[in-house]
């Protein structure tokens, strides 16, 4: 009896583990769809990611990466999802070589899965300077995910089967299956015969790019991770790291590195391209290197490629695509990149260092030649001392009276400064305003003996060249929303060629019959109208219809 109980217990534990693993697999199995299966280098590819609502409750931030068969990361973006979908775009570098690449979507919470399989969608890229492409290295893979064909349950009808250039196409889509919980996308685009034959969605076993990045559920923000190492690349434990983002008011955070020298900052609601400043603080005065690491997944094995000799139809299509892209860039030079703007909602109206006891605007007074004169004439309670050519600051403590024994937190444009000589040559005409906080300021575990914050008129921060242990870089946070420009009416821009290859790309409401319409471009060829998506039990499906443009 005791042996039977143990057997039943082990069986129950095994079934629970399997059910949990299957649930995790189902929840974490993201599917990525693109508006096109191919592109020319320098183009922008638009994507949509479908994820289960249970996943979105844990993390609503999706990472999308473009990498090569050899695991080289080409580009990546981070996008926030809503109602189980994430939509965005990824810029394909203009210098990218002709070849097949893979687009993959994942969430950071997947890092806790040691045996993780993810879906990778092929993207066939043709370099815009290539001529006469007659052969191509294609994936030699058998693990393609075959979509469930629902042409008998999702009926796609068009008013004709053959069209002329620029014609309007009327589309009717009728669902003859239960659609509760089904998520779908409708797309109409030119067919690349090579991508149609050798491309698709493949499943790969992957590993983490950096094992020290935590399995953190990113919610409405992005995780920035990195390491502090010395000159010998040895990770440094217990080092204080400051993160600053100059803004009005400035953003500030800090982290103490772990045993592997790692640091992590969560930038909540940060969108666009942030100008990040990281710096280390050490009593030893030792110089360190600051390394920021990418969060991405690598396939455990490189993708094996095999050479394919192209047929005439495939060669002609690639040539037309490259020539069309060149002409299109002449008339439409716009290039969809991550905007240079940065948005981050302010948590509090006052700066992180608190309300200034005294704010001085030097422009309201006579011009003064240096910061010593500014301190003496304008800054009450600020003591500027010079001894042995070394400058020190002391602030008056408003309670109790008397000057602090230690120096205050010094800031220039919201960035902590540890070389007081940087203040020396500042003229009153260089300065926008000066905030003085003459009280002890507690920020988390940090205690500042007052704050002296200088905001310059010049926000370029060229003075940082004299600072050690600081790193300045641009960081792509959550991608801001943009809409793919698709619709063109007949007769629009008659003096310019219309070389669009994607005509319809949107989420579709499931159930009943729905109507769509779009205008074809000046390109001839075969166009596929497809409805793709996921069923409630997480199965990939597709229904499609092809029309000819002559």
Sign of the Cα torsion 53, 54, 59, 61 reads: negative
Give pTM, 2 decimals: 0.87
Q: Look at the block and give the residue holding tokens 């053959």.
A: 162
Name the range with the highest mean pLDDT among 197-211, 273-287, 318-332, 371-385.
371-385
Share of the chain above pLDDT 70, in %: 88
Identify each DSSP E strand in 310-395 by its residue range.
Answer: 342-343, 358-360, 382-387, 390-395
Query: And the tokens for 396?
Result: 């008056």
Q: Which residue from 100, 149, 158 is spatially nearest to 127, judged by alpha carbons?
A: 100
On the question of pLDDT at 128 being above 80, the answer is yes
pLDDT of residue 486: 61
On the question of pLDDT at 499 being above 90, the answer is no
pLDDT of residue 367: 94
pLDDT of residue 276: 95
On the question of pLDDT at 5 being above 60, the answer is no
Report the alpha-carbon distance of residue 524 to residue 98 in Å, rounded: 23
Under the banding of pLDDT at 50, 70 and 90, the label for residue 28 is low
Query: And the tokens for 216?
Result: 């953190």
Under the banding of pLDDT at 50, 70 and 90, the label for residue 21 is very low
State mean pLDDT over 169-183: 81
State mean pLDDT over 276-281: 94
State mean pLDDT over 235-257: 93
pLDDT in tens, 88-103: 999 999 999 999 999 9
Average pLDDT of every residue of the chain: 86
Name the range with the highest mean pLDDT among 40-54, 266-280, 507-521.
266-280
State mean pLDDT over 126-150: 87
More confident of the two residues 461 and 489: 461
Q: Look at the block and give the residue holding tokens 């926008």.
A: 432
Cα of 509 vs its chain's centroid, Å: 27
Exposure of 432 in the CB half-sphere (CA atoms within 13 A): 11
Name the range with the highest mean pLDDT among 52-66, 424-438, 493-507.
424-438
Lowest mean pLDDT, pick from 269-278, 404-413, 510-519: 510-519
DSSP string, 428-464: GGGEEEEEEEEEEEEETTEEEEEEEEEEES--S-GGG
pLDDT of residue 325: 81
On the question of pLDDT at 138 being above 90, the answer is yes
Lowest mean pLDDT, pick from 1-15, 382-396, 517-531: 1-15
On the question of pLDDT at 9 being above 70, the answer is no
Name the range with the highest mean pLDDT among 44-53, 269-278, 511-520.
269-278
Under the banding of pLDDT at 50, 70 and 90, the label for residue 24 is very low
Beta-sheet pairing, 73-80 with 162-163? unpaired
Report the alpha-carbon distance of residue 312 to residue 251 in Å, rounded: 58
- For 406, left (φ over 0), alpha (ψ -120 to 50), or beta? beta
The answer for residues whose C-beta is within 8 angstroms of residue 480's C-beta and 6 or more apart is: 271, 272, 338, 339, 341, 343
What are the phi and psi torsion angles at 484 (to 5°)? Answer: -70, 120
More confident of the two residues 493 and 186: 186
73 strand-pairing partners = 67
Share of the chain above pLDDT 90, in %: 58
pLDDT of residue 328: 73
pLDDT of residue 168: 94
Q: Which residue from 425, 317, 309 is spatially nearest to 371, judged by alpha carbons?
A: 425
Name the range with the highest mean pLDDT among 36-40, 55-59, 321-325.
36-40
On the question of pLDDT at 11 being above 50, the answer is no
Under the banding of pLDDT at 50, 70 and 90, the label for residue 80 is very high
Query: And the tokens for 522?
Result: 């000046």
pLDDT of residue 15: 41
Q: Look at the block and give the residue holding tokens 């090579």.
A: 194
Beta-sheet pairing, 38-40 with 73-80? unpaired
pLDDT of residue 336: 52
Under the banding of pLDDT at 50, 70 and 90, the label for residue 12 is very low
Report the alpha-carbon distance of residue 200 to residue 192 in Å, rounded: 12
- For 382, left (φ over 0), alpha (ψ -120 to 50), or beta? beta
Sign of the Cα torsion 228, 232, 234, 238 reads: negative
DSSP string, 42-97: T-EEEEEEE--HHHHHH--EEEEEEE-TT--EEEEEEEE-BTTEEEEEEEPPTTPP
On the question of pLDDT at 145 being above 70, the answer is yes
Report the alpha-carbon distance of residue 26 to residue 19 in Å, rounded: 10
The answer for residues whose C-beta is within 8 angstroms of residue 152's C-beta and 6 or more apart is: 176
pLDDT of residue 10: 41
pLDDT of residue 13: 40
Under the banding of pLDDT at 50, 70 and 90, the label for residue 342 is confident
On the question of pLDDT at 454 being above 80, the answer is yes
Report the alpha-carbon distance of residue 188 to residue 526 in Å, rounded: 10
pLDDT of residue 292: 93
Query: And the tokens for 134?
Result: 């007659």
Under the banding of pLDDT at 50, 70 and 90, the label for residue 317 is very high
Q: Which residue from 396, 414, 510 is spatially nearest to 453, judged by alpha carbons?
A: 414
Cα of 298 vs its chain's centroid, Å: 17
Helix (H) or strand (E) holding 319: helix 312-331
pLDDT of residue 227: 95
Under the banding of pLDDT at 50, 70 and 90, the label for residue 162 is very high
């Amino acid at each position: 009896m005791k042996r039977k109980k143990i057997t039943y217990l082990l069986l129950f534990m095994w079934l629970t583990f399997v059910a949990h693993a299957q649930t995790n697999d189902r929840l974490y199995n993201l599917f990525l769809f693109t508006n096109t299966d191919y592109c020319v280098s320098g183009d922008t590819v638009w994507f949509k990611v479908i994820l289960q609502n249970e996943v979105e409750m844990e993390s609503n931030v999706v990472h999308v990466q473009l990498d090569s068969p050899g695991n080289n990361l080409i580009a990546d973006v981070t996008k926030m999802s809503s109602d189980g979908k994430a939509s965005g775009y990824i810029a394909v570098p203009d210098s990218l070589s002709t070849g097949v690449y893979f687009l993959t979507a994942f969430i950071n919470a997947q890092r806790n899965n040691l045996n993780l399989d993810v879906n990778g969608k092929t993207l066939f890229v043709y370099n815009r300077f290539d001529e006469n492409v007659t052969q191509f290295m294609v994936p030699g893979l058998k693990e393609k995910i075959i979509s469930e064909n629902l042409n008998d349950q999702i009926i796609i009808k068009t008013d004709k089967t053959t069209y002329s250039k620029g014609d309007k196409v009327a589309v009717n889509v009728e669902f003859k299956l239960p659609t509760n919980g089904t998520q779908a996308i409708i797309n109409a685009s030119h067919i690349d015969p090579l991508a149609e034959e050798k491309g698709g969605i493949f499943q790969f076993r992957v590993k983490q790019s950096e094992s020290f990045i935590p399995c953190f559920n990113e919610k409405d923000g992005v995780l920035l991770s990195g390491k502090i190492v010395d000159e010998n690349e040895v990770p440094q434990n217990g080092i204080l790291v400051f993160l600053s983002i100059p803004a009005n008011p400035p953003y500030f955070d800090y982290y103490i590195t772990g045993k592997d020298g790692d640091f992590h900052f969560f930038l909540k609601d940060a969108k666009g391209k942030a100008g990040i400043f990281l710096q280390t603080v050490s009593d030893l005065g030792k110089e360190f290197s600051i390394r920021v690491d990418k969060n991405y997944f690598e396939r455990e094995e490189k993708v094996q490629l095999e050479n394919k000799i192209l047929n005439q139809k495939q060669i002609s299509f690639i040539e037309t695509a490259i020539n069309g892209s060149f002409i299109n860039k002449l008339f439409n030079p716009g290039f969809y990149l991550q905007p240079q703007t940065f948005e981050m909602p302010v948590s509090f109206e006052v700066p992180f260092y608190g309300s200034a006891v005294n704010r001085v605007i030097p422009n309201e007074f006579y011009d003064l030649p240096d910061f010593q004169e500014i301190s003496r004439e304008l800054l009450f309670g600020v003591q500027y001392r010079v001894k042995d050519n070394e400058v020190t600051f002391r602030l008056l403590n408003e309670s109790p009276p008397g000057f602090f024994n230690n120096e205050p937190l010094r800031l220039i444009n919201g960035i902590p400064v540890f070389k007081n000589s940087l203040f020396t040559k500042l003229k009153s005409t260089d300065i926008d305003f000066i905030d003085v906080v003459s009280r002890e300021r507690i920020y988390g575990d940090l205690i500042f003996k007052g704050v002296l914050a200088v905001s310059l008129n010049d926000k370029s921060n060229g003075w940082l060249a004299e600072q050690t242990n600081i790193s300045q870089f641009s960081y792509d946070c959550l991608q801001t929303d943009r809409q793919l420009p698709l619709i063109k009416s007949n007769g629009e821009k008659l003096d310019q060629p219309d070389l669009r290859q994607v005509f319809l790309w949107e989420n579709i409401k499931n159930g009943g019959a729905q109507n769509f319409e779009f205008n074809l471009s000046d390109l001839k060829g075969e166009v596929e109208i497809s409805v793709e998506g996921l069923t409630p039990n997480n199965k990939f499906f597709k229904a499609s219809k092809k029309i000819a443009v002559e």
